[in-house]
Every structure is written in C-alpha cells, then in structure tokens.
Structure 1
Amino acid sequence: MNVKQAANVLDLLEFFAKHRQPATLAEVSKLLEWPRSSTFNLLGTLAARGFLYEPRARGGYYPSPLWFSLLQQIESAEPIPEQLRELLHALVQRTGETAVLAASSSAFAVFLDVVESPHAIRYTASPGKLVPLHVTATGRALLSQMTTAERSAVLRRANFERYTPSTLMSVAAVEKEIQRSLERGWFEGNAEFTLDLGGVALPLKMPHRQFALLLAGPMFRVGERTEELVEAIKGEIKRHLGNPT
C-alpha cells in the first residue's frame, strides 16, 4: 500500500534530512520531480499548519521545530527503555557486530534502534529499516511471540519471494523453522534475505511490548560464532534487564 499524499510528506522530510538547508518551491519540485501545482499545494498546507517556515523571506522553506516537539510527545508516551539502548551498545562492545532492536509492523520487522559494528565490513542498517517477518531471524523471533492465529494471518499474506538460495519459501517451512528455533532457544539468520549476511536473534518480551534483539554481520565472521553470539545476547539481557517477562 502506498498513499501518495502520505508518501510525498515522507519524501519531503527525507529530502530535507539529506540536504539540510532551505529549499524553494521550484527546487523541491525539480529535485523530487513533482508537478509544480502538487508541490505548491503540499508546501502551502504544511506551512499553514506550522510544519514549514521560511528562515529568510523568499529564501525557501525548512521544517519547523514543530516536528520535533510532536515526536518528543509521542516518544515520551511510549519510550524505548533506556536500558535497551545501553544493552545494544554493550552487545557491540562485547562482540564487535551490529546490534539491532526490532518490533513488528504488519508483515515486517521494523528496526527501532541500531548500533553498528566498528568493523569496516559490517551489517549496515538504520532505524526505520523494514525486513519481512518470515524471511529473517529477527522476523521469526517476533512471529514466535504472536498467537497461532496472529502468526497464521501474517503468513497467509506473506510474499514468498526468493531473495537468496536459502530463503524459506512456504508457510510450512517458516513454521518448522520457528518451532526448531524455539526448541533450541535462538533464531538463526543464514543469508536468507541478503547474501553473505547472517546473525542470531532472540525474542524479548517486556510488559505490554514485544521486541527482538539481533546480532548480525558478514557470514565469514558470524557463521562460526553462533553460540558465542547467543550467549552474549542472553548475558547482556540478564545484566541489563534481569529476567524480563
């Protein structure tokens, strides 16, 4: 699903995040390849609501602090616990691999927080990244926390596209892998979504919230470190969170 008006607002925010300077209507229209009339309507609407302002008269538009104020209010109502951010940093320090905190969003796992490995060759990601639930260790760790009915509904809608030779290609295969992972106590990513990248993930259930923790990196580094990475996640969870329920 792609609602054009909503997508345009998000594209505009990403545009300003990238360019980090005011832009005129003509510049936005040209660089985003939008019709001038549509650009005029969108910028005018956002400016009228206080979401855009002109730092200098006729010097172009720029997002106002209103975005930040609203986001602060939203985040303060349901914040990511600070100990989870500390846990990610501790995992990277301990293992040298990229650590990710993820949650489910429809048929995808969305990355909420990422701390990247210091290695030049590493798993690279940023908050907001989406990966299919059924294809990844992170996603299957989240699926495992759903009820049977909830998981069934997600998998019925899944697009079983072959991303790599190791991609699981059926509901039955995904369910079998989830059960196998639950029995051994961790979820494995074996280059199923992106070639040469893998890792391990564990479900993390906290009061009223369900997360997954992932440690990921290039297969040549993480492929033989599975048990070490699993123990690192379990150890840091215990050290930072005690025994979450």
Structure 2
Amino acid sequence: MIVRQAANVLEIIEFFAQVKKPATLAEIADHFGWPRSSTFNLLATLSEKGYLYEPRPRAGFYPTPRLLTMARMISEVEPLPPWTHTLVADLSAETGETASIVAPAGTMAVFIDVVESQAAIRYFATIGHRVPIHATASGRALLLQYSQEERDAVYRKIEFKQYGPSTPISIEAVETELRNSIDRGYCQSFADYSRDLAGAAIPLPIGDRRLSVVVAGPEFRIGPKVAEVASLIARTVDRLRPKTAT
C-alpha cells in the first residue's frame, strides 16, 4: 500500500535530483499535476524541517544538503561555491568555534554549511538547522541585504517572542539593531535566541544570493572577543573570496 503523502515527498526529492535546479511552486505543481494548495503544504513542511531553502529571491526552492539519499546527486549542482566551505573550515579552526553559512527561509534562517567546534562545550549546529531571522546575528546579517519593503514583508509574518533576555521583540527593536550593526560593521548576538550563546556574523552576498557567515559559541568564550571574531571573519572572506565573485 502506498501512502500518497509520503510518496509525494519522495517524488519531490526525485524531481530535484532530475532537474538539478531550483523550481517554483507553480513549476512543481504543474509538473506533477497537483493542486497548488497541496503542493504549497508539502513545500512548506519540507522547508520547516530544514530540507528546502530558497537560494535566490523569488527563484524557487532547492534542497539543502540535509537530504541524505539524494545528497550526492544534489551536490553536483550545490549552489555554494567551494571556497565558502574553506571559509567556514578556516574560521572554525582559527577560533575553535562553530562556523556556518546561512541562507534565508522566510522568517527563518537555515544553516546550509556547518563546521562544528571540537570543544566539549560548543554550539551544536547541523545542516538544515533553523533559527529566527530577526533574533540571531546570522539572520540579521541576512536582513541587512533586504530592502526596507522586503524587510517589512518579513516582519508582518514574524511572531515576536522573548526567546532570551536580549531578544528584539518588535519591528522597531530589530531595525534599531540593524542600524547598530551597520555602525559597528557586523551583527552580534548575546543570548538573543539561545541562552548562553553568542555570535558574530556578516553578510556574505554571492551574486544575487543572500547569505551570511557566522561564528558562534558559548557566551563566556565569544562574548569578550566578539569584535575580534567579526574582524577575523571579514579578513578571511577577503582572503578567500575570488576577485571575480560578488
């Protein structure tokens, strides 16, 4: 007996393995002859679980490397250029903390490449991990790449919650933190979302892709040197980014 919803999820995975490029909701629905409402629910569920993300604005969905059985087929056209993995590997080795590449997924930010710290006490993160886009350094580094109109559209969908003692719980608070980030030259978080966790992040636009790079770890280690970590991130990006990359 075939469970139709389970089969549909597998067919979506196989579809991406075959077409090897992002696809919009309409393209997927038309390909399978599915109602758009049902297709939306499937894509939203896969995105919520960290299996899909939007690599380019309004250009459709694409699987994250979290998809296990299809990972090799998908990785042939993985949208991250190779130097970005070297970036997070070098940052993790230099700082001893977890370093990640992050992409937008609606009101969330999804981790699409991670090199985890080897320390016993560390930030545990995996590919597909999702955090609120407004309440984290990595997410706010993404929001800095949005126009005001685009940010306003995201804000309307956010359910503002007090995740931690310094969580911005209003549009005004998020916008203030974004202005502060521009002034200091990087985004930072001190237990904004996860208790006892701190991080530094900067925008990492590549072509028309909105990405960010973040180094995060226990607040007692990262907190006193967050500016130093942010400076290291910027220098490492400058060193590794191909001169033709934008």
The two structures share one fold, judged by TM-score above 0.5: yes
* Counterpart in the other structure of 2:141: 141
* Counterpart in the other structure of 2:236: 236
> Shift in Å at residue 184 of structure 1?
1.5
Deviations 1:150-173 (A, max 9, x none): 111001111101111211110010
Asked if the contact 1:190/1:198 (under 8 Å) is kept, the reply is yes
Task: Count how many residue pairs are aligned between Structure 1 and Structure 2.
Answer: 187
Instruction: Give, in whole Å, the separation in 2 of the partners of 1:112 and 1:68.
Output: 14
Instruction: Give, in whole Å, the separation in 2 of the partners of 1:7 and 1:174.
Output: 41
Instruction: Give, in whole Å, the separation in 1 of the partners of 2:119 and 2:160.
Output: 32
* Counterpart in the other structure of 1:101: 101
* Counterpart in the other structure of 1:120: 120
The answer to whether 1:221 aligns with 2:221 is yes
* Structure 1 pair 219–141 and aligned structure 2 pair: CA distance change class (3 A): same
* Counterpart in the other structure of 1:86: 86
Asked if the contact 1:100/1:115 (under 8 Å) is kept, the reply is yes
Deviations 1:218-239 (A, max 9, x none): 0000010112101110111011
Give the RMSD, CA atoms, in angstroms: 2.4
Deviations 1:196-226 (A, max 9, x none): 0011000011112111000000000001011
* Structure 1 pair 194–68 and aligned structure 2 pair: CA distance change class (3 A): closer
Instruction: Give, in whole Å, the separation in 1 of the partners of 2:68 and 2:200.
Output: 34
* Counterpart in the other structure of 1:47: none
* Counterpart in the other structure of 1:163: 163
User: Aligned partner of 2:191: which letter?
Assistant: A
User: Whose Rg is larger?
Assistant: 1
Instruction: Give, in whole Å, the separation in 2 of the partners of 1:77 and 1:233.
Output: 26
* Structure 1 pair 169–68 and aligned structure 2 pair: CA distance change class (3 A): closer
User: Aligned partner of 1:81: which letter?
Assistant: P
Instruction: Give, in whole Å, the separation in 1 of the partners of 2:170 and 2:197.
Output: 21
* Structure 1 pair 79–180 and aligned structure 2 pair: CA distance change class (3 A): same
Instruction: Give, in whole Å, the separation in 1 of the partners of 2:179 and 2:173.
Output: 10
* Counterpart in the other structure of 2:30: none
Asked if the contact 1:104/1:142 (under 8 Å) is kept, the reply is yes
User: Aligned partner of 1:126: which letter?
Assistant: T
Asked if the contact 1:143/1:151 (under 8 Å) is kept, the reply is yes
* Counterpart in the other structure of 1:174: 174
Asked if the contact 1:92/1:98 (under 8 Å) is kept, the reply is yes
* Structure 1 pair 120–83 and aligned structure 2 pair: CA distance change class (3 A): same
Instruction: Give, in whole Å, the separation in 2 of the partners of 1:5 and 1:109.
Output: 26
* Counterpart in the other structure of 1:195: 195
Runs of 4+ in structure 1 off by over 6 angstroms are none
* Counterpart in the other structure of 1:40: none
Instruction: Give, in whole Å, the separation in 2 of the partners of 1:138 and 1:6.
Output: 33
Instruction: Give, in whole Å, the separation in 2 of the partners of 1:192 and 1:182.
Output: 18
* Identity score, percent: 42
Deviations 1:66-121 (A, max 9, x none): x8785444443343111100111100111111101000011100000110111110
Deviations 1:47-77 (A, max 9, x none): xxxxxxxxxxxxxxxxxxxx87854444433
Instruction: Give, in whole Å, the separation in 2 of the partners of 1:213 and 1:141.
Output: 8
Length-normalised TM-score, structure 2: 0.70
Instruction: Give, in whole Å, the separation in 1 of the partners of 2:204 and 2:239.
Output: 14
Structure 2: stretches of 5+ with no match in the other structure:
14-66
* Counterpart in the other structure of 2:27: none
Asked if the contact 1:156/1:171 (under 8 Å) is kept, the reply is no
